[in-house]
């Protein structure tokens, strides 16, 4: 009930992002139902049916990625001080985020089911004819258990992923439990220096206040100071010193779900380059040393060996891993060679937002390179993409672009206090807009050639099919 109230009372921009999640879920659900209809119409083509069902994993992954990005930017489920007192702690807010995501995806799945039944002619009107008839199986009854199972995949996976990403994390690091020791007279604890008998109460040092020390004679002041230093060196009741305890306990994070800005370069750039090179090598080796087996992609796309498709997947993974590191590198290059205030501001923002912006940007580059390669490798016997291939490609591209824009909005909200402080200090608004344009230009100059190069290299193994 609370999730429904938060959904109804959200900002229009938040509602728009949730509507995008619902539309993406509807598109993925419609592709899954079309795969079910194709399997019903072609019962003797099991391999082709399984391939079409596996092809739907890419739109499903893009939809889940978008749902996670939208859940992270939802202001209604962000931890705030004082909410734990009324029962809205990080765990409860995580549950609300997962429930809201499940509601949006379920709405999209219901829209997909209604559209599929309408095209089949089960609700009203006549079913579609022609090429689309093989994906609808209008002449056969629809197995509702199978349809409901397929439609429940997106809400279940999306809500589980949101709950996993936004789960509350313990801000205090786990420390090893000290070994049990016994101090003076069997007291629990462990002292660093051995004490002589009677040092505990010598000269009445235990329990003295600061005010009483000032009234003591000069002879007893030195003994009191030595006793005070001994008490400071003695451990506390749990076996650790108070100063060490204060240094070991970090300040609590008001928003534990927010990814911290990297102070150093992200560690994924070498791994991303290695995976990218491995993917390109797998593509070249699989096409050259293939055993003649070909895997026909749906929608009139080029055929190729299964190893080539595995190489494409590794290439996309490599671009996604290298995205944060490349974004951080762009920010560092902007600050090189005696930068001014504009380049310094743009570079520092890119370095701070490398993880938040770089990974969605790497996914967009992977999708763009894949679309470019598939467009260059269209089968000559087909007029172009099939209807479902075109729809699926547009769905994946739209989800990745929407995820990138959502991450940009999240980054803008995170640095709102910094922007306000700069405006109060007298920084002109034109300089902030120029810094944003400079960041966009630097990212475009770095990622656009990389996307084209990877697309050309990925298309080479299938160019002479």
Distance of CA 28 to the CA centre of its chain: 20
pLDDT for the residue numbered 78: 66
pLDDT for the residue numbered 120: 83
pLDDT for the residue numbered 306: 67
Residue 294: how many CA atoms within 13 Å on its side-chain side? 10
pLDDT for the residue numbered 170: 59
Distance CA 210, CA 131 (A): 92
pLDDT for the residue numbered 135: 76
Count of C-beta atoms within a 10 Å radius of residue 413? 12
Question: With bands split at pLDDT 50, 70 and 90, how would you rate the model's confidence at 92?
Answer: confident
**Least confident stretch, 129-143, 172-186, 244-258, 414-428:** 172-186
Question: With bands split at pLDDT 50, 70 and 90, how would you rate the model's confidence at 3?
Answer: low
pLDDT for the residue numbered 28: 94
**Least confident stretch, 46-60, 83-97, 269-283:** 83-97
User: What's the token pair of residue 392?
Assistant: 């699926």
pLDDT digits (tens, 9 = 90+) for 4-41: 565 565 667 878 888 999 999 999 999 999 889 888 88
Does 443 have pLDDT greater than 90? Answer: yes
Does 281 have pLDDT greater than 80? Answer: yes
Distances (CA, A) of 316 to 124, 309, 368: 43, 11, 10
pLDDT for the residue numbered 237: 44
pLDDT digits (tens, 9 = 90+) for 366-415: 999 888 877 766 654 455 567 788 888 899 999 999 999 999 988 888 88
Residues 6+ apart with CB under 8 A from 385: 299, 300, 301, 378, 393
pLDDT for the residue numbered 444: 93
List Cβ<8 Å contacts ≥24 apart for 161-164: 161/64, 161/67, 161/68, 162/67, 162/68, 162/71, 162/94, 162/97, 162/98, 162/101, 163/94, 163/95, 163/97, 163/98
pLDDT for the residue numbered 141: 83
Residues 51 and 298: beta-carbon distance below 8 Å: yes
Q: Which residue shows structure tokens 């985020």?
A: 97
How many residues are given for the chain?
A: 465
Residues 6+ apart with CB under 8 A from 78: 93, 255, 257
Distance CA 429, CA 422 (A): 9
Mean pLDDT of the chain: 76
The percent of residues in the chain predicted with pLDDT above 70, rounded, is 65
Per the model's pLDDT, the better-predicted residue between 254 and 224 turns out to be: 254
Distance CA 97, CA 377 (A): 41
Q: What are phi and psi of 324, to 5 degrees?
A: -60, -40
pLDDT for the residue numbered 447: 93
Does 231 have pLDDT greater than 60? Answer: no
Over residues 201-209, the mean pLDDT reads 49
Max Cα separation, the chain?
Answer: 107
pLDDT for the residue numbered 212: 45
pLDDT for the residue numbered 274: 92
pLDDT for the residue numbered 387: 79
pLDDT for the residue numbered 126: 66
Residues 6+ apart with CB under 8 A from 35: 49, 52, 53, 55, 56, 150
Residues 464 and 376: beta-carbon distance below 8 Å: no
Q: What is the pTM of this model?
A: 0.74
Distance CA 332, CA 187 (A): 56
Distance of CA 165 to the CA centre of its chain: 7
Count of C-beta atoms within a 10 Å radius of residue 372? 17
pLDDT for the residue numbered 10: 63
Over residues 212-229, the mean pLDDT reads 46
Q: Which of 2-6, 238-242, 342-346 is the most confident on average? A: 342-346
Instruction: Give the per-residue SS3 of the chain.
Output: CHHHHHHHCCCHHHHHHHHHHHHHHHHHHHHHHHHHHHHHHCCCCHHHHHHHHHHCHHHHHHHHHHHHHHHHCCHHHCCCCCHHHHCCCHHHHHHHHHHHHHHHHHHHHHHHHHHHHHHHCCCCCCCCCCCCHHHHCCCCCCCHHHHHHHHCHHHHHHHHHHHHHCCCCCCCCCCCCCCCCECHHHCECCCCCCCCCCCCCHHHCCCCCHHHHHCCCHHHHHHHHHHHHHHHHCCCCCCCCHHHHHHHCCCCCCCCCCCCCCCCCCCHHHHHHHHHHHHHHHHHHHHHCCCCCCEECCCCCCEECHHHHHHHHHHHHHHHHHHHHHHHHHHHHHCCCCCCHHHHHHHHHHHHCHHHHHHHHHHHHHHHHHHHHHHHCCCCCCCCCCHHHHHHHHHHHHHHHHHHHHHHHHHHHHCHHHHHHHHHCCCCHHHHHHHHHHHHHHHHHHHHHHHHHHHHHHHHHHCCC
pLDDT digits (tens, 9 = 90+) for 42-59: 878 788 788 888 888 999
pLDDT for the residue numbered 305: 61
Residues 26 and 112: beta-carbon distance below 8 Å: yes
Question: With bands split at pLDDT 50, 70 and 90, how would you rate the model's confidence at 446?
Answer: very high
pLDDT for the residue numbered 45: 77
Question: With bands split at pLDDT 50, 70 and 90, how would you rate the model's confidence at 89?
Answer: low
**Least confident stretch, 229-243, 314-328, 384-398:** 229-243
Over residues 321-349, the mean pLDDT reads 90
Question: With bands split at pLDDT 50, 70 and 90, how would you rate the model's confidence at 262?
Answer: very low
């Amino acid at each position: 009930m609370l999730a429904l109230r938060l959904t109804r009372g959200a900002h229009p921009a938040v509602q728009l992002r949730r509507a995008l999640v619902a539309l993406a879920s509807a598109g993925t659900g419609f592709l899954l139902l079309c795969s079910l209809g194709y399997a019903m119409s072609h019962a003797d083509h099991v391999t082709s049916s399984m391939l079409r069902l596996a092809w739907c994993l890419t739109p499903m992954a893009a939809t889940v990625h978008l749902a996670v990005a939208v859940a992270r930017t939802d202001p209604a489920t962000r931890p705030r001080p004082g909410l734990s007192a009324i029962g809205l702690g990080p765990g409860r807010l995580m549950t609300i985020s997962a429930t809201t995501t499940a509601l949006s995806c379920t709405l999209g799945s219901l829209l997909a089911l209604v559209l599929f039944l309408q095209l089949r002619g089960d609700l009203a009107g006549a079913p579609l004819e022609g090429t689309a008839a093989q994906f609808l199986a209008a002449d056969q009854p629809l197995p509702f258990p199978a349809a409901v199972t397929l439609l429940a995949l997106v809400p279940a996976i999306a809500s589980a992923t949101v709950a996993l990403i936004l789960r509350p994390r313990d801000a205090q690091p786990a420390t090893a439990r000290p070994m049990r020791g016994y101090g003076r007279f069997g007291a629990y604890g462990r002292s660093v220096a051995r004490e002589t008998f009677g040092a505990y109460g010598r000269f009445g040092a235990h329990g003295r206040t600061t005010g009483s020390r000032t009234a003591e004679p000069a002879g007893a002041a030195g003994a009191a100071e030595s006793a005070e230093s001994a008490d400071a060196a003695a451990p506390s009741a749990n076996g650790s010193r108070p100063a060490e305890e204060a240094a070991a306990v970090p300040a609590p994070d008001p928003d534990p779900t927010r990814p911290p800005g990297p102070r150093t370069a992200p560690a994924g750039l070498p791994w991303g380059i290695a995976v990218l090179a491995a993917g390109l090598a797998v593509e070249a080796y699989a096409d050259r040393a293939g055993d003649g087996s070909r895997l026909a992609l749906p929608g009139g796309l080029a055929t190729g060996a299964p190893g080539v498709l595995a190489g494409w997947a590794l290439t996309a993974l490599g671009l996604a891993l290298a995205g944060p590191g490349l974004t951080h590198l762009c920010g560092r290059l902007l600050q090189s060679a005696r930068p001014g205030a504009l380049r310094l501001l743009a570079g520092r923002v890119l370095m701070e937002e490398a993880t938040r912006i770089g990974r969605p940007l790497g996914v967009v580059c992977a999708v763009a390179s894949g679309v470019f390669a598939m467009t260059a490798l269209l089968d000559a016997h087909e007029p172009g993409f099939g209807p479902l291939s075109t729809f699926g490609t547009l769905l994946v591209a739209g989800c990745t672009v929407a995820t990138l824009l959502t991450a940009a909005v999240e980054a803008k909200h995170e640095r709102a206090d910094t922007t306000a402080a700069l405006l109060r200090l007298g920084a002109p608004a034109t300089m902030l807009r120029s810094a944003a344009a400079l960041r966009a230009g630097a990212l475009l100059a770095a990622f656009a050639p990389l996307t084209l190069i990877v697309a050309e290299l990925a298309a080479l193994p299938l160019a002479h099919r």
